[in-house]
Amino acid sequence: MIKIITVEREYGSGGGEIAQLLADRLGWTLWDQLLTEEIAHMVDCPKSVVESHEERNDPLYYRLFKSFMRGSYEGSINAPKLKLVDTECVLRVTRNVVLKVAETGNCVIVGRGSQHFLENRPDTLRVFLYAPAEEKVRRVAARGHSETEARELVETVDRDRSAYIQKYFKVDWPTRSLYHLMLNTSIGEVRAVDAIVSFMNTLDDSR
């Protein structure tokens, strides 16, 4: 029986909103911003710091700095004191939180590599949401961005996610064979939720 749904999404496809509606429909817990807050609590840093390292690789200057810290005697002595929070640290804690949340069940988890962490669990439905480029630009612009800013965000955020997945999970993004359902959200948020719930019920009935 399905008790976990992971929602991976293209930026601007409405993934966060659909995940919220889905969790509300099922009466399940949504792990999106809540997941970020839990990670921030565990690594003892502001939520904004965690957000800056989620689903994206660290910039080159930081990787060079970390390499220096690891390679120098002074760096190896002082690194624990600095409590460096980077992408690898956030990823490691994210995995632990996701696995713990999965044990509880009745949850909708948005992105953060959750589809990969839980790929071998038979009680998990893995969904990928996408939309036409212009639809994504329209959605992002509606949040207060100019059309130029929205178009740039749509392009760069997904490029960063793709690079992140490639680096840490060694697969292309999206890995189509990983998902049970890939859905075009231009059908509307409510219809997207209807489709996901219907598919979940079909899976449960066939088991």
- Residue 54 sits in a domain whose CATH number is 3.40.50.300
Confidence tier at 27 by pLDDT (50, 70, 90): very high
DSSP assignment letter at 180: S
pLDDT at position 185 is 98
pLDDT, position 66: 52
Nearest Cα residue to 114 out of 206, 30, 188, 193: 30
Q: How many domains does the chain have?
A: 1
From 17, 16, 13, 18, select the one nearest 136 (Cα to Cα): 13
**Between 53 and 95, where is the model more confident?**
95
pLDDT of residue 81: 38
Residue-number span of the structural domain to which 33 is assigned: 4-201
Distance, CA of 68 to CA of 145 (rounded, Å): 38
11/183 Cα distance (integer angstroms): 14
Specify if 16 maps to a domain: yes
Least confident of 22-36, 37-51, 71-85, 158-172: 71-85
Single-letter code of the amino acid located at 77: I
Over residues 146-197, the pLDDT tens digits come to 999 999 999 999 999 999 999 999 999 999 999 999 999 999 999 999 999 9
Q: Is residue 112 part of a domain?
A: yes
**Within a domain: 207:** no
